Amino acid sequence: MLDLNGIRDMFAFWRPRKPPVPFAVQFKKFEIILERNNAILELMADMGDKLGGEYVFDGQYIVSACERLGDLVFKLISDLSVLTQRKNVDLFLAFESIQHQIEEELAGRHSFPNASLTMPLEELNRDVSEEAGNKLAHLGDVRNFLGLATPDGFVITSKAFFDFMAHNGVTRRVEEGLARLVPPGSSGSQVDEAGLDALSQDIRSRILEGEVPRPVAQQIAAMLDVLAARRGDKATLYAVRSSAWGEDAEFSFAGQYESVLAVPPAKVLEAYKRVLAGAYSPEVWRYRLHRGYKESETAMAVGCQAMIEAEASGALYTYAPLAQEDEAVVVSATWGLGAPVVDGTAETDTYFIDRCGAHAVRSIEVAHKPVRLAAKAGGGTGLVPVEPEFQDVSCLTPERILRLVQTAMTIERYYKRPQDVEWAFDAQDTLFILQARPLNMQPREVLSCPNGIRGAADAARNAEVIFSGKGTVVQHGVAIGKVFVVRTDEDLAHFPHGAIMVTHHTSPRYSRVMRKAQGIITDVGSATGHMSTLAREYRVPAVVNTGVATSLLKNGDEITLDTTQNTVFRGAVHELCRFELTGEESFEESAEFRLLRRLLKRITPLNLVDPHSEQFKASACRTFHDITRWIHEKAVEELIDVSERHWRRSGATPKRLDSVQPLGLMVIDLDEGPIRAGANQKDMPAVAQEELTSVPLAALLTGLTESGMWSTDPMSVDLGSFMSSFTRTFSSASAAPGKIGRNLAVVSHEYMNLHLRLGYHFNIIDAYISERVNDSYIYFRFLGGVTDFMHRSRRARCIAQILERLDFRVEVHGDLVVGRIKKLPPERMREKMLVLGGLIGYTRQLDVCLRCDEDIDRHAEEFLQRITPLLEVRND
Amino acid sequence: MTDHGKSADPVEKTLGRARILILDDEPIVCKRLKPAFQKAGYEVETFTDSAHALARVEETRFDIVITDLKMEGVDGMRFLSRVKELSPETGVVVITGFATLDTAKESFRKGAFDFVAKPFKLADILDTVRRIEDKQRLDAELRVGKG
């Protein structure tokens, strides 16, 4: 929509606008913006790196890093204001809002940014445990992050709980009652027992008789409708379960809260109140008081999930209690619903399985199971007889046992804690995870036994070290497993569950096996690559750039990778694994790591990806990354505008590039001084390709020329499209300089910022190639095309595929491709620029010949084949 | 020295495990360093309160001390001085989030073995501690050689 400002902007082109500040100043500002832009990206990456566990940092670091970042972003906005001579009010407002959220987090006040009363399971993860309670937040991770099946459902948030309690006047009753029972200054363990029982009775009946506030009831009804529609309006029954703050975390509250099974939709509100009331039973309340839990820390979110028609269900401990079995998983199972297993009221089959390796079954004890628990059609549960032929049969097949154990180990690996998992198989053979919580291993007992700390240190000392201290640790942790060497993409398809991936280089393509891999070791690669980010996200212990991994490790070798000591041991050193699983707290769950993760959510996600979208505006910036990206875009636009219109007065030296291909490129060399005062040319001076001193630009143009891909007529292109595209490029090249497409390169010896629009294909490449490897980077962006959207997005995927093969870190959003690579030595960086040059030529008209998805692979392959000789020649 | 300190020391010595005291007022630093050093075979005690740590070094000797600088009460500089006074051969590593040239110089003047800016890598601090041990072994050999 065009408002008055929009119209004014449209015509701004016609107004002769003089550069309001001298050009030299503007260039300086532009350079500062680019520098600051990179400093911000570096600092963000640096903060992200800290999540891997290799660094020891403290709260002070988080505060000062946020301060530095805020300061940089603020200055960046100010720089842009000077460059564009605009006030950028929207941008400052966006900044203030983000800055405020960060300050709130740092002050320990987590704002409920999402003040919803209900949230669907697909939106839950550990970072919303305040809203969703621990149990459902974890289940959200299991479903949304680890990709495991969980019963469909939603959570009635802790916000709804507070609303309910206030609405019914219970909050005040609780406070007053407790003030009477627990005099200030006394500890919770000296509470008047009879008084607490009476208070509990009073509070529970007030909750059960209370009214669910209308907005809460409406939200619940709406969520139930959505679920019913998604399930094809089948008469669904629900499990209504507690998901309190702190439940399953530092205090387990195991089994103490109420769950109501097989609830028909009409009775969900009633069940909801029952679960809320369960938070005030005398037992739970006493437990809270004894453990010094503050009353203000009590909040009961409630999960509401579709019941699974379970064929068999039960519980699993990924670490059987030590005295019983060493290094074993223990599973209890029964027919039907699993509640009797958890309550301990039913006879169950018991299985002991190896934790490691192929998960061999050690023992099976089959119980006599004459009855099973089942949901009744109208709601509620009841015991029904089991068919005689199944009463004495194991309720898990070997295949299901394996699947179950692998799944549970995936959860354990992620949380780095032994897990207590409730599970169910339905008649369609789907394995559902109903709940997963850390298994309390009694660390003190374990650590005081001979197998504890000393065991770990001694075992490490006695084990054979294959190699140690090589490369860069990306993610801390311990992995025991068999080596699987990945050399080709086909290898990825056969990657075995629980193996340790050993590869020559890092690649974003390995995201496919992140959920299966126990650990990762590479020969080359950087800690800041895409794969490293993934390893941190999935918490897979990883070390890159070891130089020796593929030569020292062979397929099938059993090894222990301990990245906390950066050592690879031969064989399984279980003590190291146990040491990690029984430690006080995994570092990922410590307050500082959680705070840093929450802060980074306000800092690093990029929402502004498409400069052509309506949403690409200052007011839409939600993170510091958004602001940075937007400013970069605007700064470049401004520079192009000014250079095109005012080059003669500019004081810089824009030159027209005489290139082999008709690029219509204007080059501004920041290393050169301004045009001498005497120079009074009418036309822009020219520079020949050979004269260019900019390393990145020279490499790019060489690639474009020598790959011979510019003039290539792609095989299956239809002549019409090709000609039109050719004509367009040609005509723009032959047009007067003033009308040339907006093609501009701002360069220095080591730097290049290139904006290249060829037809409708728009490339931005920002590169810095220097001996200072840590500062070197290439940022590549591609957008646009003339054909229909399908063709265009195929081309985007083709480019993405090629870039990934070249180890770029790639994002694809529809027709937009962003590739990044950094920290490589200059010769490798030049090589990448050569390839990008070829790629620009090759993909110029590629969209028209990508007729089906198979063409993507074919063209990516063809390009790589044709570009390779060029690289090999250069390498010699 | 208390009785406790005397009786504990020979046991530790026979096991050949170096003893480390870690002092940082931010619990996260202790929480991260403790298991890393334990796993590497050290005996580790951690403190977040410098008064308690001071009381501990008064009663027993540590081979290695890792201390923060900026803390409430007794600050790291004073702690460092006291440790070196009590036991000159103890290797002290100063870790700080406010690294300046002046504080570094002062730390070294007071006898610190190394000065490390936070955040640092676990591998690096483990390495620093190993270097202290090497130096301590060498010093001990020299002493024996002289005697």
CATH code: domain of residue B38: 3.40.50.2300
* B121 contacts A64? CB cut-off 8 A: no
- pLDDT recorded at residue A314: 92
Question: Which pLDDT tens digit goes with each residue over A563-619?
Answer: 988 999 999 988 888 888 877 677 877 888 888 988 998 898 877 766 667 888 999
Query: Which residues make up the CATH 3.30.470.20 domain(s) of chain A?
Result: 310-396
CA-nearest residue of chain B to A46? B119
Percent of chain A with pLDDT over 90: 36
Q: Is A819 exposed, middle or buried (0-12, 13-18, 19+ CB in 10 A)?
A: buried
Question: Per the CB < 8 Å rule, is A583 touching B118?
Answer: no
Residues of B in Cβ contact (< 8 Å) with A576: 39
The reported pLDDT for the residue numbered A11 is 43
pLDDT of A646 = 60
Tell me where in chain A the CATH 3.30.1490.20 domain(s) lie. 152-306
Please, where in chain A does CATH 3.50.30.10 lie? 444-577
Mean pLDDT of the region A433-442? 81
Strands A751-758 and A744-747: antiparallel
The mean per-residue pLDDT over the stretch A446-461 comes to 64
Q: HEC profile for A777-820?
A: EEEEEEECCCCCHHHHHHHHHHHHHHHHHCCCEEEEECCEEEEE
* Least confident piece of the model among A548-552, A794-798, A846-850: A846-850
Predicted confidence band of residue A445 (pLDDT cuts 50, 70, 90): very low
Q: Does B29 touch chain A (CB under 8 A)?
A: yes
> Among residues 557-576 of chain A, which lie with CB inside 8 Å of chain B?
564-566, 576
Least confident of A132-146, A423-437, A717-731: A717-731
**H helices present in A539-587, as ranges:** 549-552, 574-581
Q: Nearest CB to B28: which of A58, A456, A457? A: A58
Question: Are A625 and A704 within 8 A, CB to CB?
Answer: no
In angstroms, the CA A613 to CA A490 distance is: 38
The three-state secondary structure class of A566 is: coil
Closest residue of chain B to A584, computed from CA coordinates: B31
Following DSSP, what letter does each residue of A116-158 receive, concatenated?
Answer: -SEEEGGG--GGGHHHHHHHHHHHHIIIIIS------EEEE-H
Which of A365, A4, A304, A333 lies closest to A150, judged by CA? A304
* pLDDT confidence tier of residue B11, bands split at 50, 70 and 90: very low
Residue A96: what pLDDT? 95
Q: Which of A155-159, A295-299, A340-344 has the highest mean pLDDT?
A: A155-159
Q: Omega into B119 within 30° of 0, i.e. cis?
A: yes
Sorting pLDDT into bands at 50, 70 and 90, what band is A84?
A: confident
* pLDDT computed for residue A45 by the predictor: 81
Token pair 């980010």 in the structure block, residue: A533
Q: Which of A64-78, A539-553, A763-777 has the highest mean pLDDT?
A: A64-78
Beta strand A816-822 with A809-813 is antiparallel
Residue B129: per-residue pLDDT: 96
**Model confidence at A677, in pLDDT bands (50, 70, 90)?**
very low
Assigned token pair, A655: 């030159």
Mutation site, B22, B23, B32, B70, interface A, largest A CB count within 10 A: B32
Q: In whole angstroms, how far apart are CA A625 and each of A450, A622, B74?
A: 50, 8, 41
Residue of A nearest to B116 (CA): A56
What are the start-end ranges of the H helices in chain B?
3-15, 27-39, 50-59, 76-86, 101-109, 122-146
With a cut of 60, say whether residue B143 has pLDDT above it.
yes
Cβ-based contacts under 8 A for chains A and B = 75
Split at pLDDT 50, 70, 90, the class of A725 is very low
Stretch 30-89 of chain B: residues touching chain A, C-beta under 8 Å: 31-33, 35-36, 38-41
| Per-residue pLDDT band at B71 (split at 50, 70, 90) | confident
**Residue A50 sits at the chain B interface (C-beta within 8 Å):** yes
Query: Looking at residues A765-785, what average pLDDT do you find?
Result: 81
Cα distance between residue A111 and residue A115, in whole Å:
9
Taking only the tens place, the pLDDT of each residue in A203-240 is: 999 999 999 999 999 999 999 999 988 888 667 899 99
Q: What is the CATH number of domain A152-306?
A: 3.30.1490.20
Verify whether the Cβ–Cβ distance B118 to A579 is below 8 Å: no
User: What are the tokens at A611?
Assistant: 């400069």
Look up residue A287 and give its two tokens.
Answer: 């437990």
> Tell me, what's the pLDDT at A814?
61
Report the CATH number of the A310-396 domain: 3.30.470.20
More confident: A530 or A383: A383
Count CA within 13 A, CB hemisphere, residue A797: 16
Task: Decide if A457 and B35 are in contact by the 8 Å CB cutoff.
Answer: no
Mutation pick from A56, A546, A596 vs chain B, by most beta carbons of B within 10 Å, is A56
Interatomic CA distance for residues A329 and A334, integer angstroms? 17
Band the pLDDT of A794: cuts 50, 70, 90: confident
Residues A151 and A236 sit within 8 Å (Cβ to Cβ) = no
Question: Architecture of A444-577 per CATH?
Answer: 3-Layer(bba) Sandwich (3.50)
A420 contacts: CB under 8 Å, gap ≥ 6: A254, A315, A316, A317, A436, A437, A438, A439
Given an 8 Å threshold on Cβ–Cβ distance, is B33 in contact with A56?
A: yes
What's the rounded Cα separation, in Å, for the pair A418 and A600? 28
Bigger pLDDT: A316 vs A111: A316
Model pLDDT, residue A817 = 82
This complex has an ipTM of 0.87
pLDDT, residue A393, reads 94
What residues contact A179, with CB distance under 8 A and at least 6 apart? none
Say whether pTM exceeds 0.80: no
Cβ atoms A479, A556 nearer than 8 A: no
- The whole-angstrom separation of Cα A274 and Cα A242 is 10
- Average pLDDT, rounded, for chain A: 81
Asked if A457 reaches chain B (Cβ–Cβ under 8 Å), the answer is yes
Q: Tell me the per-residue pLDDT of A339-371, one tens digit each, with 9 for 90 and over.
A: 888 777 778 899 999 988 789 999 999 999 999
pLDDT of the residue at A719: 36
Which has the higher per-residue pLDDT, A522 or A718?
A522
pLDDT at A4: 47
The share of chain A scoring above pLDDT 70, in percent, equals 80
- Torsion, Cα of A382, A386, A387, A391 (10° steps): 180
Residue with tokens 């103490």: A256
The pLDDT score that the predictor gives to residue A876 is 40
Predicted pLDDT at A23: 65
With beta carbons under 8 A apart, name residues in chain A contacting B94: none
- Candidates A56, A565, A585; nearest CB to B118: A56
Which stretch of A212-226, A240-254, A272-286 has the lowest confidence by average pLDDT?
A240-254
Please determine, for residue A841, whether its predicted confidence score (pLDDT) is greater than 60: yes
Interface test with A, best of B71, B120, B122, B128 (most A CBs within 10 A): B122
pLDDT for residue A29:
84
Q: Are B51 and A606 in contact (CB under 8 A)?
A: no
* Residues in A 355-384 with any Cβ partner in B closer than 8 A: none
What per-residue confidence (pLDDT) applies to A163? 92
Specify the residue for token string 């008081």: A289
Overall domain count for chain B: 1
pLDDT of residue A21: 63
Centroid of chain to Cα A732: 43
Task: Write out pLDDT tens, residues A659-675.
Answer: 777 787 888 887 765 54
Is the CB of A56 less than 8 angstroms away from the CB of B29?
Answer: yes
Q: What are phi and psi of A624, to 5 degrees?
A: -60, -35
Which residues in chain B are closer than 8 Å to A591, comparing Cβ atoms? 28
* Mutant choice from B39, B121, B127 vs A, greatest count of A C-beta within 10 A: B39
Check CB contact under 8 Å for A453 and B97.
no
Ordered DSSP codes for B60-72? S--SEEEEESS-S
Task: Quickly state the pLDDT bin for A468 (edges 50, 70, 90).
Answer: very high
pLDDT score recorded for residue A184: 62
Amino acid, single-letter form, for residue A399: E
Rounded to an integer, the average pLDDT of A172-199 is 79
**Residue span of the structural domain in which B46 resides:** 3-146
